[in-house]
A and B are shown apart, each in its own frame.
Chain A
């Protein structure tokens, strides 16, 4: 049954990594719909992943994480490559939005984070701020770009291209409350099967206030190179300390200059007494 897409209601992705097969249909669908060029052929040589990272022209990226112990010669003790279709998390506490000086990054009527291409001037402050290394400059457009959660498709009542293309329903799209319910059920099912390491990432507000694109992970967030609750930090944490440090230094600088002005009067006399300024 098609999902009803209602403006004013929070929408997002629930990516269940336990059923991802690494087919990269999501990557292809994303590139096709958004008319993003493919990267020049490259071979990373570490896995089936030859995309490498998310960037300005790659808005979906299937991570292949080698979770197989090196010393294992057999089946890997049940361990295998972890697969995860990575994407912009559309954070509730979005660092990129906070630091954007042009107002180019906005929250849409679907509660997603969107970069307005006509407003962005390519300052790259958002790149320095994004804790997931999602945003990058599109070299063809010279503006910052990332997953739009197919904003144009949502406006037309269509689900995002990646979710549509995913053959295993690893990527599910829908209203956030509905996705939360599905995720909770899936997690409970996995736990009941004895898969205790399964966990939901970004389902609650412990990481960046909650993620509209949240995940079911098969290991700790660190394994997937994701910040955990302990290093959920926002750029503006340094605003107050930074400005106070600046103010304190300015005061000390002023004190230093006043000391210099007061001391020069006494010290300058010998020089004034000497016609050529050579006096010891």
Chain B
């Protein structure tokens, strides 16, 4: 008789694949960018405002697209609203099940989309792309103390959205997913580093906010160190439950390697420079030459995607 591991799994795979993968990716980036944009606007320098606006442009389309992907993933997409309203005969009312992160997450996503919409419109107003009296008032509101509180609440919500996806996987009986409690933290750390990388990337296409480059690069290094730490925790917990081999099996090992590769630029900078920021910035072009690390943000984003793919697919293999 084959001895059972502490947590033997018998559950079937839910076949969450591409829609869910890209939703998780977008949720991470939306969380990272909203959080960083809030910090840059309210605790940064005036020179960070342009970057903050860039950051506030991202969450709304990312959230909308994410909601669309979530809906399309359902076998009955037209019943997405059943997540929100109980349609059981005789029990009509709002639907909320605190025992499953899927229910908590849907509500969080819905509420967060309001914050993302406000941030998006505000950025359009500040950039002079729309001129509406109401929208102008919105920006004035966001400049005050109430606006700061509003954005802090929004940032907290988006931090949750970046990471609850990992908790959602863990709250199951699937191998790998349910063998660790650290997936939520790992996805959040990865989303934060992805958000920083995305802002660094967007800054290149809109030559503004160069003064924010240092803080973004430093943030990315620290977030990546946190991500690596949590990745180690995840792998250690998988050893404990005997599913590490399954997680690292071929071809998933390739995805883990891409995820690690995505961390390399930031880890390299952390090792070489610590908390110091190079004047030209690790990823900036210097003297008209394109440095080897110019691809770093793309690599980080590929790593963010690969990490989620490795977790999602290996757990269902």
Residues of chain A having any CB pair with chain B under 8 Å: 95, 98-104, 106, 116, 118-125, 127-133, 135-137, 142-143, 220, 222-223, 225-228, 230-231, 233-239, 241-246, 248-250, 252-253, 256-261, 263-264, 267-268, 270-271, 274, 276-280
Contact = CB atoms under 8 A, between A and B. Distances in A.
B11 interface: yes
A257 B219 contact: yes
Contacts, number: 260
A120 B12 CA distance: 18
Contacts of B188: 246, 249-250, 253
Contacts of B102: 99, 101, 123, 125
B86 interface: yes
A11 B278 CA distance: 72
Given A245-B184, A271-B279, A233 B82 contact: no
A120 B75 CA distance: 9
A137 B14 CA distance: 9
Interface stretch (B21-29, B111-119, B162-170): B162-170
Interface residues of B, number: 85
B294 to A, nearest CB: 15
A244 B102 CA distance: 17
Interface string B60-77: 000000000000011111
17 contacts: A103-B97, A129-B171, A222-B2, A223-B1, A231-B5, A234-B173, A238-B171, A242-B183, A245-B184, A245-B185, A250-B188, A256-B226, A257-B39, A267-B276, A267-B277, A268-B211, A280-B279
A259 B43 CA distance: 12
A268 B1 CA distance: 64
Contact of A249 (B11, B106, B171, B226): B226
Given A124-B14, A128-B11, 9 more contacts: A101-B100, A102-B79, A121-B75, A128-B172, A130-B11, A253-B159, A264-B218, A277-B210, A280-B279
